[in-house]
Chain A
Amino acid sequence: MFKLNFKIALRNIWRNRSSSLINISGLAIGLAACLLLLLYVSYEWSFDKQGKDSAQLYQVLTNYTKENGEIDGTGQSTGNAIGPVLKEDYPEVEGMARLTHGWDELVANGQSSFKKKVVYADQDILTLFDYTFIYGDRRTAMDGPNNVILTESAAKILFGTTDVLNRTVRHENKDDLKVTGVIKDIPKNSSVVFDFLLPWALLVKNNDWAQHIGWTNNNWATVVKLSKTADVEQLNKQIHGLIKKHEPESQASPFLYPLSKLHLYGKFTKGISSGGEIEQVRLFMGLAIGILLIACINFMNMATAKSEKRAKEVGIKKTIGATRGSLVTQFLMESLMLTLCSSILAIALIELCLPLFNNLLGIELSVAYANPLLWISLITVVLVTGLIAGSYPAFYLSSFNPIQVLKKKNTKRGIQSVSLRQVLVVGQFCFAVILMIATAMIYKQIQFIKDRPVGYEVSELVEMPQDGELAVKFELLKDKLLKSGAVTSLYQSSGSMAYVGSNFWGMEWPGSTEVDKQVVFNQIGTTYDFVKTTGIKMIVGRDFSEKFASDTAAVLLGKSAVKRMNLINPIGTVIKYQGSPRTVIGVFEDFIWGSPFKTDDPMVVTFNKEWRSTITMRLNTANPAATNIAAIERIVKEINPAYPVEVKYVDQIYARKLKTQKVLGTLSNLFGGLAIFISCLGLFGLAAYSAEQRTKEIGVRKVLGASIAGLMQLLSVSFLKMVLIAIVIAVPIATYIMDTWLKGFEFHTSVSWLVIVLAAVGTIAIALLTVSFQAYKAAKTNPVDALKYQ
């Protein structure tokens, strides 16, 4: 029986090649899109869950309370005091590691040097995360201050091989470190990622600021491992007042949060987890299911549309003795076979598209063919798809009454099935239209944010890290660069123009109250030529100048800072900044420092020679950019030969702030396009079928004098009606969704009717094109052929 049904299925697929092709390819695209998205979902889902003890790992987070007791914000950074205390005083804490957030530092193998991502951590890190050691011993690898652990790929870059135990790595052109371990590369979906793992002791040795043990110097992450039996809630109650106990001034209360949840649920509102990346994961899952459903609908529609052809077979089999069950099984098997073909095609498609998709999302997904879980889930998806796609045709076709179908009196059911088919098509196009409108709105929002004035001249501005010799020989560098003509001005500062570097609170000014001490200000420490180089607009006053010796104790304020401080005549006002008096010498127009989607904290720019981290330069537009960059590189290399030169364009760094939204836009564009494509594929098949069914009618009408245009209209109108209904349903839904999405941004554009009209017209045009192709073909046939055919 199975064999015979299998044969019938194969011969049917072959005989209806074109509709099979539509079915299989549509389903393959749908499956590929769905699996691709699910691959991403599983990648996000397994974030920080790779280690065998991952369920026991917790990160120390901190809630910040306002004066009225309300929780104001939640931070993921801690001081360096809390970790050791937790491990010492609480028996549930089995291990603790303080970690730096991961930044690039200089490492060299004797000949060449690289800037690679380093993390400094306490020794316990090796018991917290079970890194796979290729060389070295987990127990002793971190026991000395001059040890270093390399990842496999870092070892290959540095030495060309992984067998590098006990070899020497020159670090920051200062220390010689001994390689005590080489570990397998850390999965990309981990929070703690590095190329080099360095001992905490080295950080303390080389940095004064890390030596001071503090409860509120929030520069680090602290991760603890709890015992299997530990009661986290109980422990969180116990440590609630820990920071206040040691720093009574502080408004912070620490708590432990599962590390494996932090990535997906990293957003906190009033101290309570309120989502995070999980929202994107859910969105992707929705997209995946939606696309697959659209493909399944095609399948169902094609199958039921062809029901008349299959009805005879059902009738015969029923008369001969087939039960309904055996027929249902047969049709389900047929759909499973098509799904199987599609899934093979889908896997090929995935392999083809994966690099593109990875590039787009900036992650590294791969299909782990050796993983049984992958096969289980793939088979599940195929089975479920096959069953969903096949269920309606199976139950519908198998319900035929044998006498009626064998005598072709099958009219009543025909009408019913058409209406369900219409509902399904309307559903498909609804989804497609919603995605189209969403795409357009996302792009509109991105454009809106792009058009927001940045507040400084962002183009032709470049920056580089102030590494090594550049810190002490800045004046020499400045002199040489200006003389070379490559740059017109430059300054050193505590951080980049393009992203938030530092903030502080506790500032006092004439008229400020105790409450005002809690106000958070952004800060940049710099010396001369800050305003000149960046092109920030001064409202009143001036930039720091070497002509005024007193400027070393001066500050510039942003417009919103002045407003917050209620200063009426800001110039000359003396404020108390970091405990010492400073004179305001200028007020500038606010610029975008953090996210362009919301208002930054008020800005204070102070004169500070010691805070050196970044050199920002204005390129001389009289020369070609490449010449300028080459000149800069040459001069920097001369002064600071140990370090690679990394000159970056500030506008490129700025553009990255829109990355999340751009990815979202590209994805909804991509999957919206796919949704439309698959829907149209289905429409194409249905139109072809409808034209075929009405061949005789068309023939008669032509004989009686119908024009081609009239016939095309006849054939297209019913399909266009469905698309129109879909648009009518989709527009309010899309408007509502996108309105809600936009309101999540402080600066946002609005849903525009132009976008909706364009999406609607676009959909109609595409659908019309699809249907009219078939209609034209049918209308053009010779009427005699059509009549003979029946």
Chain B
Amino acid sequence: MIKISNLEKVYKTEEIETTALNGINLHVQAGEFVSIMGPSGCGKSTLLNVMGLLDKPESGSYKFLETELLTMNDRERSNFRKQHMGFVFQNFNLIDELTVFENVELPLIYNKVPAAERKKLVNEIIERMNIVNRSGHFPQQLSGGQQQRVAVARALVTKPKLVLADEPTGNLDSSHGNEVMELLCELNEQGTTIVMVTHSSHDASFSNRIINLKDGHVISEKINKTRTEELI
């Protein structure tokens, strides 16, 4: 589904240049669950941002279902993003002024889904995420695990082909973290492609494939046999 080749990204400040991505090549098949790991500053978040069209690389190619995304302008990128991608962040990034229901509904509004259908879709997903009884609450009234479930619900409500997760368990204790990871696995089993950045090998063990980055290079790739077998 995703073909990334020769991706380069350099951060420039007045004094120094930092190469974040240095000729990355990466293929992701539809239905895969890929973890990206590596030490701080290895470029894993940058890679995820580029994949999510939140950041622009200097050079390289990024094909999504045979469509080249890097030549798109801002509006096209924004459209593509809202149609095909969902995001889960470490710090949840829910809008404090909106209730759980409204937070989940927001991407549908941007996708111009009619109100009645929005209601149906949101109810479906929050039921699936087991947060129905919280739908009228504001984010700050929920626990971290619940907040992340809302964030996952929001990422999934548009039925995206690709979910990008940036350290989804980073702000959670281990039991809540496991809850979220199990949720992601379940989604993956239902067919959603997931790319996750993490520094926890425990979390990475939930995925099919683990990619290790260092200094902007892919240094190793490991197929997670147990999960792959499960998949087959």
Contacts and interface: CB of A to CB of B under 8 A. Distances in A.
A320 B110 CA distance: 8
A4 B113 CA distance: 14
Nearest to B52: A319
Given A4-B102, A321-B78, A403 B95 contact: no
Interface string A469-487: 0000000000000000000
B106 interface: yes
Interface residues of B, number: 28
Contact of B106 (A15, A320, A323, A324): A320
B110 A312 contact: no
Interface string A639-669: 0000000000000000000000000000000
Contacts of B49: 403
Contacts of A4: 98, 102, 105-106, 109
B217 to A, nearest CB: 22
Given A4-B98, A316-B94, A317-B106, A403 B54 contact: yes
A12 B97 CA distance: 7
Given A4-B109, A321-B111, A316 B93 contact: yes
A12 B98 CA distance: 10
A448 to B, nearest CB: 58
B54 A7 contact: no
A402 interface: yes
Interface in A304-343: 312-313, 315-324, 326
A402 B45 CA distance: 14
Interface in A260-313: 312-313
A316 B109 contact: no
A11 interface: yes
A567 interface: no
Chain A interface secondary structure, helix, strand, loop or mixed?
A: helix
A317 B95 contact: yes
Contact of B82 (A313, A316, A320): A320
A202 interface: no
A784 interface: no
Contacts, number: 63
Most buried by B among A11, A313, A321: A321
Contact of A320 (B87, B97, B102): B87
A8 interface: yes
A313 B110 contact: no
Interface in A424-477: none
Nearest to A315: B93
Most buried by B among A12, A313, A318, A319: A319
Contacts of A1: 109-110
B58 interface: no
A15 B98 CA distance: 12
A406 interface: yes
Contacts of A324: 74
Contacts of B102: 4, 7
B221 interface: no
Contacts of A317: 95, 106, 110
Interface in B31-53: 49, 52
A11 B97 contact: yes
A319 B81 CA distance: 8
A315 B91 CA distance: 13
A312 B54 contact: no
Contact of B93 (A7, A8, A15, A406): A406
Given A4-B98, A4-B105, A319 B54 contact: yes
A315 B52 CA distance: 13
Nearest to A402: B54
Nearest to A325: B75
Given A320-B87, A403-B54, A7 B106 contact: no
B107 interface: yes
A400 to B, nearest CB: 12
B71 to A, nearest CB: 19
Contacts of B75: 323
A210 B106 CA distance: 84
B206 interface: no
A321 B55 contact: no
Contacts of B97: 7-8, 11-12, 15, 313
Given A402-B54, A403-B49, A321 B110 contact: yes
Contacts of B105: 4
B62 interface: no
A323 B77 CA distance: 10
B98 A321 contact: no
Contacts of A316: 93-95
A322 B93 contact: no
B98 A326 contact: no
A9 to B, nearest CB: 9
Most buried by A among B52, B54, B102: B54
Interface in A1-35: 1, 4, 7-8, 11-12, 15
Contacts of B74: 324
Most buried by B among A7, A320, A402: A320
B149 interface: no
A406 B89 contact: yes
Nearest to B81: A321
B154 interface: yes
B110 A322 contact: yes
Nearest to A309: B96
A313 B109 contact: no
B90 to A, nearest CB: 10
Interface in A405-419: 406
Nearest to A407: B45
A12 B93 CA distance: 17
A184 B167 CA distance: 79
Interface in B83-141: 83, 87, 89, 91, 93-98, 102, 105-107, 109-111
A725 B78 CA distance: 44
A252 B102 CA distance: 80
Interface of A: 1, 4, 7-8, 11-12, 15, 312-313, 315-324, 326, 402-403, 406
Given A317-B95, A317-B106, 11 more contacts: A312-B96, A313-B96, A319-B81, A319-B87, A320-B82, A320-B87, A321-B78, A321-B79, A321-B81, A321-B111, A403-B55
26 contacts: A1-B110, A4-B105, A4-B106, A4-B109, A7-B98, A8-B95, A8-B98, A11-B97, A312-B96, A315-B93, A316-B93, A316-B94, A317-B95, A317-B110, A319-B87, A319-B93, A320-B87, A320-B107, A321-B78, A321-B79, A321-B81, A321-B83, A323-B75, A402-B54, A403-B54, A406-B93
Interface of B: 49, 52, 54-55, 74-75, 78-79, 81-83, 87, 89, 91, 93-98, 102, 105-107, 109-111, 154
| 6 smallest beta-carbon distances between A and B, as pairs | A321-B82, A321-B110, A11-B97, A8-B97, A320-B107, A316-B93
